[in-house]
Copies of this chain bind each other. A is one copy, B any other.
């Protein structure tokens, strides 16, 4: 039932999102020995896949709830996405953002019409700030990743990839809060076939890796220092069961591997991506001997980065 929901969600959100292109690179194929297919969500509206889930969650709210607005806490991309999705549908969006979120992301969320409330960088700080907003506004809380409507929405990125390129042997998906990989897992099941969906995580924020190892949701002790700023959050009780049941594994990568992958994407593919997106390529490259000559999808999750401050 969740599977068909991804398809219905796709029909629902299609008017509000881009069908992002899938790109290939002969140079990266030659370097990696893989046949790579990059789903370019860096070209998505508001700069990342998050508009998909945000739009679906908003469209699923009853009219009376939409009137009071929606609220969330986010390190950046979901904030921008929710602000834009809400504006598209005439809904107010209240957003708690950590003070250490990139300035460009804060500004973008504000420019899309979001009402921003800055808070501390920890998960608890964000949750508390969101709670204050809810009490003040009566808005509906939308979690950036641990919400089944959001998961269905993010899954449409995977659905389009499978529709556009046909069967794949594997897909690498960056894992932060777990909404994207849970959605792509549902889409892969929906597509049938044998595609293995693998999470990609920084070693410095390997909570999902440890969660799969132990079978229980694990947390990062303190805010991780990884440059992949979109992947610092932890899994939730809605997406973890999906990930636990169907993910083929999680591959973790070092900061240096992330930076090198990011550099390849800029220099060889001429694409602006954020570090979190490069984590998926870095993980596929790490695992390349498993997939030599195979068809491997990479979800380039977003492109919201300050290009003047690249880490290479």
Q: Which A residues are closer than 8 A to B by beta carbons?
A: 21, 23, 42-43, 47, 104, 263, 266-267, 269-273, 303, 307-308, 310, 312
A312→B263 CA distance, assembly (Å): 18
Known: A270-B43, A270-B271. A308 touches B307 (CB 8 A): no
Known: A270-B47, A270-B273. A308 touches B308 (CB 8 A): no
CB-defined contacts of A266 to chain B, threshold 8 Å: 272, 307
CB-defined contacts of A43 to chain B, threshold 8 Å: 23, 269-270
A308→B310 CA distance, assembly (Å): 7
Q: Look across to chain B and name the residue whose beta carbon is closest to the beta carbon of A303.
A: B270
Q: Which of B21, B47, B303 contacts A21 (CB 8 A)?
A: B21
A302→B308 CA distance, assembly (Å): 19
A109→B312 CA distance, assembly (Å): 22
Complex contact A270–B308 (CB within 8 A): no
- Show 26 residue pairs from A and B whose CB-CB distance is below 8 angstroms, ordered by the A residue: A21-B21, A23-B43, A42-B270, A43-B269, A43-B270, A47-B270, A104-B267, A263-B307, A266-B272, A266-B307, A267-B272, A267-B307, A269-B272, A270-B271, A270-B272, A270-B273, A270-B303, A271-B271, A271-B272, A272-B272, A307-B307, A307-B310, A307-B312, A308-B310, A308-B312, A310-B310
CB-defined contacts of A21 to chain B, threshold 8 Å: 21
The 5 closest A-B pairs by CB, nearest first: A270-B303, A270-B272, A266-B307, A42-B270, A266-B272
Q: Look across to chain B and name the residue whose beta carbon is closest to the beta carbon of A23.
A: B43
A303→B270 CA distance, assembly (Å): 6
Q: Look across to chain B and name the residue whose beta carbon is closest to the beta carbon of A44.
A: B270
Among A23, A42, A307, A312, residue most surrounded by chain B Cβ atoms (within 10 Å):
A307
A157→B25 CA distance, assembly (Å): 20
CB-defined contacts of A267 to chain B, threshold 8 Å: 104, 272, 307
Q: Look across to chain B and name the residue whose beta carbon is closest to the beta carbon of A111.
A: B27
Q: Look across to chain B and name the residue whose beta carbon is closest to the beta carbon of A45.
A: B26
